[in-house]
Structure 1
């Protein structure tokens, strides 16, 4: 599949078909990851260590398109094949609209082509989002969100995360987002486990592949601000959106303030 043949589609819940959900669930089940060594003990007898994390269309609908939520799907397609997608839900926090990516999945063959960034840029197109967020164990998802919504990891404002993460999570209509527990020294925790900016989501996926990807990121000279990732946890990003021109290019100007 060539990235030059890919089309980006942005869809509201009223036009998302069952076939689209099946396609997304199938890609997730083949590409997301495997269960970690403690998944069966911590979660369910069906979460067998080393086995692929599976997703059904029905569960995907429940998690990412819950009734009464302002949710959306952005998908990248080439012909009739799904190359990647993102689900997101919007809600209000302190009188401003925030956009939270509830699921992001890319075909492994296309992960080096910045497709995730393109999908996330399409997600924000035409919207009045003041803040954006994502929970993910994979550094590439974190980097894509920072490129699409902010000014990249080089200029991340960790005070935004520190000051607003808990309030945004508490306001969320998405259960797993609302109930997660913030972890790390950024949030006042003391300890020597190396965690800085993450959240305990109780999702015991294996971390070997994402941590190998993180080492490759660090080898390129990228300064990783989020610390270590403990089992059952995911990195968390909250970013105030940089201005975007009509053509979709990010504007470098941004208020020097940690307010959303």
Structure 2
């Protein structure tokens, strides 16, 4: 399932393709793992290798993002035969509906701020798996990723309904087939989930993923300066937790 768009100012074109998880080949995973390991980010002070690139070999990528292949899709963006961005998404039923989750989103650094990440996630809508989805979520330290997922539900980042997150996050994560999101492996934190929260966080999840937060914090400052943020502060080892409702087309 492919969509091609011209690239402004270039004879090149970008092709977006959505592939069912069971059809994701070892070659696909090798390319995605290389993109992630080169462009995702670096470990923070409390990470295993502070200052070094966060790496993910193909077998780990398959375990983390394609553990439920019949419920998963891979969205890719190619330019001139090169992978420049990808997104993994998984869908599952939960108590109140059908949830979709963006489990990984990466765009090569030279191609950022060109709406590629937005198009990668939006391309999920073209796949039959995503029909009937009633909510979409993501755990990410980057405010831009939160905004992209909110946009999928036609909601501005500054207007995310945090009450919807509070009501649905426990139910959605209780039913997830994605191991790193299971409630046995993460903790819901922030003022939405903790009456005694003093960190300034509103909706975060403790994933023990100690990514360096210099770039996300700079982006967070931009969102705040525009009055487009309601998710609170970012805490080391945590990621913002966003879930928005999705209306039927």
Asked if these proteins are the same fold (TM beyond 0.5), I'd say yes
Aligned to 2:73: 72
Cα pair 1:151 1:242 within 8 Å, conserved: no
Residues 158-207 of structure 1, C-alpha deviation per residue, up to 9 Å, x if partnerless? 11101010110111111111131111111233132111110101111111
| Equivalent residues in 2 for 1:233-248, closer than 5 Å | 233-244=238-249
Gaps of 5+ in 1: 40-46, 245-260
Please give the alpha-carbon distance, in whole angstroms, between the structure 1 residues aligned to 2:46 and 2:195.
24
Please give the alpha-carbon distance, in whole angstroms, between the structure 1 residues aligned to 2:219 and 2:15.
27
Shift of the 230–95 alpha-carbon distance from structure 1 to 2, 3 Å rule, reads closer
Quote how far apart the aligned CAs of 1:215 are: 1.2
Name which of 135, 149, 153 aligns with 1:149. 153
Cα pair 2:20 2:73 within 8 Å, conserved: yes
Quote how far apart the aligned CAs of 1:155 are: 3.0
Name which of 226, 231, 237 aligns with 1:232. 237
Quote how far apart the aligned CAs of 1:69 are: 5.3
Aligned to 2:83: 82
Shift of the 165–172 alpha-carbon distance from structure 1 to 2, 3 Å rule, reads same
Quote how far apart the aligned CAs of 1:15 are: 2.1
Cα pair 1:90 1:99 within 8 Å, conserved: yes
1:120 alignment partner, SS class: helix
Aligned to 1:249: none
Residues 128-177 of structure 1, C-alpha deviation per residue, up to 9 Å, x if partnerless? 21111100001111111111233222432111101010110111111111
Aligned to 1:122: 123
Aligned to 1:12: 20
Please give the alpha-carbon distance, in whole angstroms, between the structure 2 residues aligned to 1:144 and 1:231.
22
| Equivalent residues in 2 for 1:90-101, closer than 5 Å | 90-94=91-95, 96-101=97-102
| Equivalent residues in 2 for 1:22-41, closer than 5 Å | 22-39=30-47
Please give the alpha-carbon distance, in whole angstroms, between the structure 1 residues aligned to 2:70 and 2:18.
16
Q: Is residue 189 of structure 2 the alignment partner of residue 188 of structure 1?
A: no
Q: TM-score, normalised by structure 1?
A: 0.85
Please give the alpha-carbon distance, in whole angstroms, between the structure 2 residues aligned to 1:134 and 1:3.
28
Cα pair 2:141 2:234 within 8 Å, conserved: yes
Residues 87-141 of structure 1, C-alpha deviation per residue, up to 9 Å, x if partnerless? 1111111262211111111112222111111111111234221111100001111
Please give the alpha-carbon distance, in whole angstroms, between the structure 2 residues aligned to 1:53 and 1:68.
24
Name which of 159, 162, 172 aligns with 1:158. 162
- The number of residues matched between the two structures is 235
Question: Displaced runs of 4+ in structure 1, greater than 6 A?
Answer: none
Please give the alpha-carbon distance, in whole angstroms, between the structure 1 residues aligned to 2:108 and 2:122.
18
Cα pair 1:199 1:236 within 8 Å, conserved: yes
Q: TM-score, normalised by structure 2?
A: 0.89
Please give the alpha-carbon distance, in whole angstroms, between the structure 1 residues aligned to 2:7 and 2:152.
18
| Equivalent residues in 2 for 1:167-246, closer than 5 Å | 167-178=171-182, 179-219=185-225, 221-244=226-249
- What is the root-mean-square deviation in Å for CA atoms of aligned residues? 1.6
